[in-house]
Amino acid sequence: MIDLDIFSQGAIAAFIQVIMIDLVLAGDNALVIGLAAAGLPTEQRARAILVGIVAATVLRIAFASIAVELLEIVGLLLAGGILLLWVCWKMWRELKSPGHKEAEAVPATGEGRVRRKTFAQAAWQIVIADISMSLDNVLAVAGAARDHPAALVFGLALSIVLMGAAATFIARLLNKHRWIAYLGLAIILYVSLDMIWRGALEVWPHVSG
Amino acid sequence: MRRTSSPQNSHRKVPNGDRFALVAFVAIVTSALAALFITLPRPVVLPAFSICALAAAACLALMASLHSRQAVRLLPSAWNLAGAFTLVGCAAAILGEVEAIVEYTRFTPPRSRADD
């Protein structure tokens, strides 16, 4: 039954759960958005972060509305993991590209920097990563707050704010110290391999049986 | 003759009080993170670590944005540290287990007498 009393003990517990889950699950989105936006000029960086947040929000709402149907599709997690692995590969190639090294060699004073990455490339990477990660996030939050719609809405709003702020801070840091991007990339690689592993475990009984 | 201030000179003008406040804040947050690591049960260490680091990043960003434009230029470390704490918070969040949080914050309704 849907609990409309937001001050009941159950609702407060759901709120705490949703806040914690959203804090935990917005991290990977924020990291990918920050990594993808880091190579862009300041004005394009803000636009790329906005694109990432809007895409993540729309995808979360869309996935939440068909969460039950999505749960029945076998291999979705595996496909998401492979997609994220591809994004990692693209980011790795960008970091290793000669244009990027030239950009690092020039002092980070702003306008004189060599920039190879375009806004479209960054936006594309962000949207693909959002698609693969939002599904996981929605299912966890929907499970925790299914009887408390207010907590669900609050959780979504919180994760949007968190993603925007965290992605901005990370992009700002990576713009000055690009070597830290390798660390971020390693974390995203871990997320993609984890998704592939869990997805493969889910698919295996269907393939072998 | 008027002297023009170079970026190196402007860095020297950072008030000692601001620098001390920044170092003290980082020391407090680091101690808090270490305390969390020691005192909390293993499954919730990383989520708690993440929340603490993200809160520290928010405080640092607030601190940097409350300064005037000139002061922000003089004190870039606050923004850098906010970014670093955000990265640490995100990494801890990603490596943490969501199931542990759900289990830890689960609400069990009190049993009524009719159930017994």
pLDDT of residue A9: 65
Record: contact B87-A31, CB cut-off 8 A: yes
Record: contact A173-B80, CB cut-off 8 A: yes
Mean pLDDT score of chain B, rounded to an integer? 73
Please state the separation of Cα A49 from the chain's center in Å.
11
pLDDT of residue B79: 83
- Nearest residue of B to residue A191 by CA position? B94
- pLDDT mean by block of 10 residues, chain A; 209 residues: 58 70 76 84 84 83 75 80 88 75 49 62 84 70 62 76 85 83 88 88 83
Is residue A188 within 8 A of residue A35, CB to CB? The reply is yes
Record: contact B90-A30, CB cut-off 8 A: yes
* Residues whose CB falls within 8 Å of the CB of residue B112, separated by 6 or more in sequence, listed in order: none
pLDDT of residue A57: 82
Complex ipTM more than 0.90, yes or no:
no
Cα(A162)–Cα(B21) distance, rounded to whole angstroms? 25
Ranges of residues in chain B with a pLDDT under 70 are 1-17, 67-76, 98, 101-102, 105-116
pLDDT of residue A207: 81
Record: contact B94-A187, CB cut-off 8 A: yes
Sort out which chain B residues have CB atoms less than 8 A from A190's CB and list them: 94-95
pLDDT of residue B9: 46
